[in-house]
Every structure is written in structure tokens, then in C-alpha cells.
């Protein structure tokens, strides 16, 4: 979770964070929740489609964290 990427001194441990969800509705809630944090980009991503067709270029991320990814059979 984003809040865990910040030290108690409020030192940010990332230069850019991309928050994705398949639904743009979830992005609205995330923007509100994390509005005080800097350098966060919010965008949709459907993992069943190729990321490069959705505006994500290869080799642009050092770390990818996927949680609650598989919702349906």
C-alpha cells in the first residue's frame, strides 16, 4: 500500500508511483484517499490485455505490485 512506502518522517521512498485499476471508478476513490502524496499517477489497466496497447511501455517500472488481481473465474 502507498502509505507503507513513506517513512515516519514523511520521507517519500519512490520517485513515481502508478496506481492502476481496471475501473476508472476506483481511481476516483484512490485519488481522494492519497491526495496528500506526491508523484502518483492514476490510470486504468486491464491485465487481460497487453499493457503496451494501454499506454504502458516495457522496462519502465522497477517494481510491480499486484494485489486482488483475480476477481472472477
Check residue 44 and give its pLDDT.
93
How many residues can be counted in the chain?
73
Say whether 20 sits in a helix, a strand or coil.
Answer: strand
Instruction: Count Cβ neighbours within 10 Å for each residue of 29-66 and write b for 16 or more, e otherwise.
Output: eeeeebeebeeeebeeeeeeeebeeeeeeeeeeeeeee
Confidence check: pLDDT of 10 > 60: yes
Confidence check: pLDDT of 4 > 60: no
Q: Per-residue pLDDT averaged across 59-64, rounded?
A: 84
pTM of the complete model beyond 0.75: no
Query: pLDDT for 28-47, tens place per residue?
Result: 999 998 888 889 999 999 88
- Band of pLDDT at residue 57, cut at 50, 70 and 90: confident
Amino acid at each position: 500500500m502507498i502509505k507503507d512506502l513513506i517513512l515516519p518522517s514523511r520521507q517519500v521512498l519512490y520517485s513515481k508511483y502508478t496506481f492502476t485499476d481496471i475501473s476508472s471508478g476506483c481511481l476516483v476513490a484512490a485519488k481522494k484517499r492519497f491526495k496528500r502524496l506526491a508523484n502518483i499517477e492514476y490510470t486504468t489497466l486491464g491485465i487481460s490485455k497487453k499493457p503496451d496497447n494501454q499506454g504502458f511501455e516495457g522496462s519502465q517500472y522497477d517494481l510491480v505490485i499486484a494485489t486482488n488481481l483475480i476477481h472472477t473465474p
